[in-house]
Amino acid sequence: MAEYFAMGGFAWFIWPAYVVTLGFMLGITVSTLRGLKADRRTLAELEKGAPHRQRRQAAAGMTAAQADAPQGVARDA
C-alpha cells in the first residue's frame, strides 16, 4: 500500500496533480452551490416583501434582458 502511494518515487509530482485538479472541481462546485443557496434566499426575501406587480416586472426584466428598450424600470417610472 505504502509502495503504491510512493508511486515509484514520483509521489510528489503525481498526487499534487490529482489534488489540484480535483480540488479545483470540488472548490468551484462548493462555491457555486453556496452562492446559489444564498442568492435564492435573498430573492425569496425580496419577493416576499414586494407587491405582485413588482415581482412580475422583475421577472419580465429578466426575460427581456436582451431587449433594446430599457424594461421594467422605465415602465415603472
- Sites of contact with another protein (CB under 8 A): 7-10, 13-14, 16-18, 20-22, 24-25, 28-29, 32-33, 35-36, 39-40, 42-43, 46-47, 50, 54, 57-59, 61-67, 72-73, 76-77
CA 68/CA 60 separation, integer angstroms? 14
Q: Which amino acid is at 68?
A: D
User: Quick one: 2 or 10, whose CB is closer to another protein?
Assistant: 10
Q: How far is the CB of 29 from another protein (least distance, A)?
A: 6
Which 3 state secondary structure label does DSSP give 72? coil
Do the Cβ atoms of 52 and 40 come closer than 8 Å?
A: no
